[in-house]
Structure 1
């Protein structure tokens, strides 16, 4: 009886019709359905594999990026088909629209842990943002409390008897907080995820084709490659200043990006203001002029330079104003496009030290081999419409360039 029931469920008497309908939905014309499998490309064979999985009406259907080899028509058909799937469906997909149409639950895998959300992808994003926002509020409140108590203990722990008792009380409170467990800072997995093509207009060549990678807050990468290969273009795409010609760029909604580029010296700065006035205007929460003077002074701009109109400063003196402005935004990730232009050797070393102390991610475009060697953990090469990771450090890449030049010279 179980076999009869299963045959009835599978519509066994209509098996050929059902198989044909499934194949047609995935783009196979009647003529294509009669061809040998060996005559199809790998992409079409993947469609056959998908059709087979759907055809047997399994108790559990596991799909890994099922839309990768499908055109829009087939994607729409598959979405409608899966909406009515009666049993367990688990799928991996980077298509937000597809996930919205099919899924009733989302499982987020992060740092080897699974977290479950009800609803489609849009609902998952909304819920997760709310939870992370609340978590960050709690984290920031706790860190402020800890900093305040530590400061009080340091200042008054050895003062008068009354103040010392209060300091001891705060120390006990601090120990209790630490013992009960502190709220973790929200850690992001992929800050950015790219699957994209880009060119500036329909009559120009593609700068990037089928570019696909993810970057996160552990990324410390230098982008290298010939001029015109698309290094600065990539940073503009990530910032949203340029839109991909095709594909998508996903950015985590809570990530704050700090970007430095040469345009900062003329576009960002208000030239009629002094560095001190400009920074006080940008960060009104800093009330004390002396405190702001110290902030700017850390970046090498001191004395009269702080109160002179920015337009009277050299480019080398304007750069520290930009770095101070950038750092005080407290970004999660830095995009630095040729930051060493106009800087002297000592300032470049100071910049390298500041970057290494920075706790977030970084993408650097630079022709300064020493800076790259000091701060970059990975080298990515931009050329031939794509990006590849260089297996080695920047000095090995430099030797590669030397060999390339020697070969070109020899060929001439």
Structure 2
């Protein structure tokens, strides 16, 4: 139930915010808007300052001590310490909105002090589109190699033109020695392997950067970073832009990374494969755990249990002392003992109970009308946008109310196109699409934010789409209800809510890998009287998956790049490639083995 007083306060805050925004808009003509920005402050270390100025600091370890990070008036970190040992790979985890991405930006911009001899590269923005071929764009990242080659070309041209001064030969010898030392001749092959691992075939590697979409340019930015090999590599959700094949390659590539990595990711399997340490951002501080994500979860759970036990034991001790104080407070003979007990209470450290994350419950319908098969089917379907290039040829697939299907394949293989054909948004060029006449399909798009009006509050958005529904049935946090959609980190919660309202016997979820994680463990109920499901619905950094039994009597078709999510949800795996769809009987394990064998044959591993 919604707390009316809290909602009134939230509404008042929203009105004040809107008034402030209107005031800023009215001043737009007289000057630029002052937007909230992130800022960082750090206590100075005289010893490190002296070492830095003297040039004696040769360590590549990163030590940032006693620093604060804020965004506008909101404090994200206070008195925090961050220690990154050179050569280790750190996974940065925590609930959405706590400041993980902001922390990376503060490090990359050197708002937090990093020794000047440590090179930092933050993969944040996509590569600009221009006439530069993809392969050359990656090679340009090695500035040392590029400058040596440029100088070599200039000196050679001068000698050939007879304008030499006699020193060119010696300098050219030095350049050739340095080029040999950095293995410059192997650079194109190394860049090509990185691009191929991230999904760029030979033809794509020669295409200009302006020919690629934003997603592929982000892959180019990642390829450039991997090729440049900085001392500290900062990655923010690198798997969001990748398909399963590229994710698997990236996991293997980063396992042999020689310098330091700090990566923000909600992909549990990726962190287990890559991270040697986990840094947990919570309660405005950073805690570091040795080991992968699974080990972090075990240790964290044990710490929380111990913390709760210590808190409960102290509470009992406090109550025991308080009983004595209350009993003898007015007894003159016990006055000294009462005073002693009061001082003891004051000296006790203030322990806090475990701060449990709020649990959001999402309700699915208890069941649907049983349809006689076939429910949803494509029979010998051909489809193309251009007759010279078939997207699908003789495609035959089917789904029913018990299906738990995951569709995988490289980007551009036709996964989204197949979903549109299944939903009836695209008509086959040849072949038949059959859907039961009473079939309704719930759809969650990877481009869900594009479907939302970001300039109205969450409750207004939901009320517009579902006027008959009660606000309390949406299961959003009270304050989130009256925030503008653009201010909510849980935009995906809004769109996932829109799936649940209409009863849909078949649920299609496209690209869960790109959706931000929820604030806590999200569970669904199959309906009235059913126990909570065995797995959470939408993932957080601690959990992931949709329990196959939850969507009672409804089919699920999922396009995802998240390995753990796939394993929890799917009973069938469809691979989209070569203008058709192949069912993998051995599930994800067999698909993973197939990809690894392909990598070995192609020399990527």
TM-score (norm: length of structure 2): 0.34
Question: Which structure features the higher share of helix residues?
Answer: 1
